[in-house]
């Protein structure tokens, strides 16, 4: 069968989509680049905010039209919305042929056989538990960065606003052996950088190996040049992790450490298990550990913020703004609180109106934009180690390559040799910056 796969949601879904494509190709199915050419359209979905679900439902409406015109034959819904809504999705949208939860991916080929034998529609929602811990399908697609490797599935935290524990199940760490085998396979295929993924990577544990132990093992893989990881949780981030960022040479100086709010009252209502002070202590300690190290090797710190959580007063919100001024994150993902049915926060009184949420969001976005601009501006004149991802898509504006610095900042690089390849690591002098992007020229090639 020819299949087309569209991915919504987070990096975990991007990784799962690689697995879906890998399994289907292993069984002789063929990827196509437009949905019109496909026999089956698969969409890998996200439930984290209402907007994410709305986008998926919009796309489903489009697929319904294609199916009714006979352009595609089957529609499959995978991922978090499949797990969360299951049968209900099918009840409301009878044109869907297959609903597949995140723990059932490996059964996809035989489910497609069943569809061909008119044995549909099918709802396959496996138990999200220890059984699927060590599943992985080797990534066999063309080399493209960033390259994700899930090291743990699910989440044991219960942040009161969040659906992820319901859609992804309890936390289960993959064995170090299994993770290392996967990464060695990627390195053999030519990958130079991997990003280790989990909802709270810093709580990774398998027998005696904790997250830093795993980083040490990955750091020892020959041929691998760079390691990144996301997401860390403030309640699990320990001092060893901060030292690992400085001392393990392949681990890039980048820490994504979501705080969500600057108000202790709201953090408690969010059930985050950390206070504002706890968060600041980690940031201060990290900066202390990196004191005296050159600008090119300072860590970039980023966060997620939710504004307009139920009961958030102006003064709670001002505490978030104040924390932004105090920490000065390199970048931030900022969201309006979105009611998720089934979560504890949805049952709280004092939900805020859209206008207040929108106003608060605009304010944090403006402030972050300004801070990112100032932080990046200071990099002008510095020489950074940049790994090339791909030639820039917008050839008219920029004829060079897109890459990333060790801090994870996007760098548009000019003066790259014509035989350059993704994964090449170069020294680049920064000449211009914006809030989101650095621009620079090649100074020298380091080893390929
Ligand atoms: N496990 C990660 C990421 C989870 S989802 C973590 O704990 O940081 C990514 C981000 O989506 C969260 O960090 C949070 O900022 C945001 N998010 C989750 N649920 C949300 C909701 N109901 N409304 C708005 N933003 C939400
Ligand atoms: Fe959701 Fe909290 Fe788990 Fe992150 S740590 S996935 S925000 S419950
Ligand atoms: Fe969305 Fe599921 Fe990721 S809800 S954010 S795709 S874990």
Q: What is the pLDDT of residues 366-386, one digit of tens each?
A: 999 999 999 999 999 999 999
Name the residue with the closest Cα to ligand 1, atom 5. 48
In a domain, 100, yes or no: yes
% of the chain beyond a pLDDT of 70: 96
Instruction: Name the residue range of residue 92's domain.
Output: 2-124
**Nearest CA residue ID for atom 1, ligand 2:** 162
Report, as an integer, the average pLDDT of 61-85.
96
- Determine the pLDDT at residue 435: 96
Of the candidates 67, 80, 86, 75, the residue with the CA atom closest to the CA atom of residue 112: 75
Contact 2, 37 (CB under 8 A): yes
Is 90 exceeded by the pLDDT of residue 244?
A: yes
Q: Which of 14, 50, 79 to mutate to test the pocket of ligand 3 (most atoms within 8 A of CB)?
A: 79
Residue nearest to atom 3 of ligand 3 (CA): 10
CA–CA separation, 324 vs 372, rounded Å? 11
- Mean pLDDT throughout 258-274? 98
- Whether residue 401 sits in one domain with residue 344: no
List, in sequence order, every beta strand (DSSP E) within 346-400. 383-391
CB-based contacts of 229, cutoff 8 Å, min separation 6: 195, 196, 197, 198, 201, 211, 215, 251
Does residue 134 have a pLDDT over 80? no
Q: What is the CATH number of the domain that holds 211?
A: 3.80.30.20
Query: Bigger pLDDT: 397 or 114?
Result: 114
User: CA-CA distance, 63 to 43, in Å (whole number)?
Assistant: 10
Examine the domain organization and report whether 182 and 292 are in the same domain.
yes
- Same-domain pairing of 243 and 370: yes
pLDDT surpassing 80 at residue 336: yes
Q: Which atom of ligand 2 is nearest to the CA of 155?
A: 3
> CB under 8 Å to 368, separation ≥6 — which residues?
324, 329, 331, 332, 334
Distance 311 CA to ligand 2 centre (A): 20
Which of 355, 377, 399 is the endpoint of a domain?
Answer: 377
Residue 124 scores a pLDDT above 50: yes
Q: What is the mean pLDDT of residues 247-256?
A: 97
Q: Is residue 141 assigned to a domain?
A: no
Q: How far apart are CA 77 and CA 58, in angstroms?
A: 13
- Checking if the pLDDT of 191 tops 60, the result is yes
Residue 437, phi then psi, degrees to nearest 5: -140, 145
Residue 386 vs residues 158, 227, 430: alpha-carbon distances, Å:
37, 14, 11
C-beta separation of 6 from 35 below 8 A: yes
| Confidence band, pLDDT 50/70/90 cuts, at residue 121 | very high
pLDDT at 119 (0 to 100): 83
pLDDT category of residue 394 using cuts at 50, 70 and 90: confident
pLDDT of residue 105: 87
Q: Are residues 365 and 390 in the same domain?
A: no
Residues 98 and 224 in one domain: no
Look at residue 208 and tell me if it is in a domain. yes
- pLDDT bin (cut points 50, 70, 90) of residue 446 is low
CATH of the domain at 426: 2.40.50.140
Mutate to test the pocket of ligand 3, among 20, 46, 154 (most ligand atoms within 8 A of CB): 46
Per-residue pLDDT, 295 = 84
Query: Using CA positions, which residue lies closest to atom 1 of ligand 1?
Result: 199
- The verdict on pTM exceeding 0.75 is yes
Domain ends where: 348, 377, 406? Answer: 377
Q: Is residue 433 part of a domain?
A: yes
Structure token digits, residue 384: 């950074």
In the predicted structure, residue 441 carries a pLDDT above the cut 90: yes
Residue 94 has which token pair? 């009878």
pLDDT band at 126 (very low <50, low <70, confident <90, very high): confident
133 pLDDT more than 90: no
Q: Is the pLDDT reported for residue 448 higher than 50?
A: no
- Domain membership flag for residue 143: no
Q: What is the pLDDT of residue 396?
A: 65
Task: Determine the Cα–Cα distance for residues 111 and 100; give it in Å rounded to an integer.
Answer: 9
Give the least confident one: 35-49, 73-87, 133-147.
133-147
Ligand 2 mean position, distance from CA 35 (Å): 33
Residue 316 clears pLDDT 90, i.e. is over it: yes
> What's the chain's average pLDDT?
94
* Domain match, 296 and 169 both: yes
Please, what's the largest Cα pairwise distance for the chain? 67
Task: Give the domain CATH number at 16.
Answer: 3.40.50.12160
How many domains in the chain?
Answer: 3
- Cβ–Cβ < 8 Å for 203, 233: yes
Q: Is 398's pLDDT higher than 80?
A: no
Instruction: Tell me whether residue 71 is in a domain.
Output: yes
DSSP-derived letter for residue 105 is: G
340 lines ligand 1 (CB under 6 A): yes
Higher pLDDT, 415 or 303: 303
311 contacts 266 by C-beta, under 8 angstroms: yes
User: By percentage, how much of the chain surpasses pLDDT 90?
Assistant: 89
Residues 237 and 118 grouped into a single domain? no
Identify any residues that bridge with 300 across adjacent strands, giving them in sequence order: 254
Lining ligand 2 with CB less than 6 A are: 155, 157-159, 162, 164-165, 199-200, 233
Which residue among 80, 200, 234, 305 is best mutated to probe the pocket of ligand 2, counting the most ligand atoms within 8 A of its Cβ?
200
Instruction: Considering every ligand atom shown, identify the ligand nearest to the alpha carbon of residue 231 and give its number.
Output: 1
Decide if 136 is inside a domain.
no
Residue 184 is predicted with a pLDDT of: 96
- For residue 70, give the 3-state DSSP assignment: coil
Q: Which ligand is nearest to the CA of 155?
A: 2
């Amino acid at each position: 069968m020819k299949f087309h796969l569209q991915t919504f949601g987070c990096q975990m879904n991007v990784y799962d989509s690689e697995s879906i494509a890998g399994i289907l190709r292993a069984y002789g199915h063929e990827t196509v680049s437009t949905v019109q050419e496909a026999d089956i359209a698969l969409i890998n979905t996200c439930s984290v905010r209402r907007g994410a679900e709305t986008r998926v439902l919009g796309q489903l409406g489009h697929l319904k039209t294609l199916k009714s015109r006979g352009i595609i034959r089957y529609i499959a819904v995978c991922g978090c919305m499949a797990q969360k809504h299951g049968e209900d999705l099918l009840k409301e949208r009878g044109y869907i042929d297959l609903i597949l939860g995140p723990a059932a991916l490996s059964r996809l080929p035989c489910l497609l056989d069943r569809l061909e034998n008119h044995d549909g529609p099918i709802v396959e929602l496996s138990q999200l538990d220890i059984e699927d811990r060590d599943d992985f399908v080797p990534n066999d697609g063309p080399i493209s960065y960033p390259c994700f490797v899930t090291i743990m599935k699910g989440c044991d935290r219960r942040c009161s606003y969040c659906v992820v524990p319901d859609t992804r199940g309890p936390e289960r760490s993959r064995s170090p052996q299994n993770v290392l085998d996967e990464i060695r396979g990627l390195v053999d295929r030519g990958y130079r950088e991997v990003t280790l993924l989990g909802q709270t990577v810093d709580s990774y544990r398998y027998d005696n190996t904790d997250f830093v132990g795993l980083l040490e093992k990955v750091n020892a893989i020959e041929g691998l040049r760079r390691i990144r990881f996301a997401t860390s949780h403030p309640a699990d981030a320990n001092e060893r992790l901060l030292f690992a960022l400085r001392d393990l040479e392949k681990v890039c100086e980048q820490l994504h450490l979501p705080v969500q709010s600057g108000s202790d009252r709201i953090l408690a209502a969010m059930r985050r298990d950390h206070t504002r002070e706890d968060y600041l202590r980690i940031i201060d300690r990290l900066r202390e550990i990196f004191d005296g190290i050159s600008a090119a090797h300072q860590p970039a710190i980023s966060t997620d913020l939710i504004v307009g959580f139920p009961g958030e007063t102006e003064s709670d919100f001002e505490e978030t703004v104040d924390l932004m001024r105090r920490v000065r994150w390199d970048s931030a993902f900022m969201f309006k609180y979105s009611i998720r049915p089934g979560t504890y926060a949805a049952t709280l009184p004092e939900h805020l109106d859209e206008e207040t949420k929108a106003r608060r969001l605009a304010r944090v976005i403006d402030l972050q934009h300004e801070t990112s601009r100032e932080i990046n501006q200071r990099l002008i004149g510095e020489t950074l180690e940049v790994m090339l991802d791909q030639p820039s898509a917008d050839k008219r504006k920029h004829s060079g390559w897109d890459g990333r610095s060790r801090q994870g900042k996007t760098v548009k690089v000019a003066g790259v040799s014509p035989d350059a390849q993704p994964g090449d690591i170069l020294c680049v002098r920064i000449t211009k910056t914006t809030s989101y992007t650095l621009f620079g020229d090649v100074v020298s090639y380091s080893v390929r």
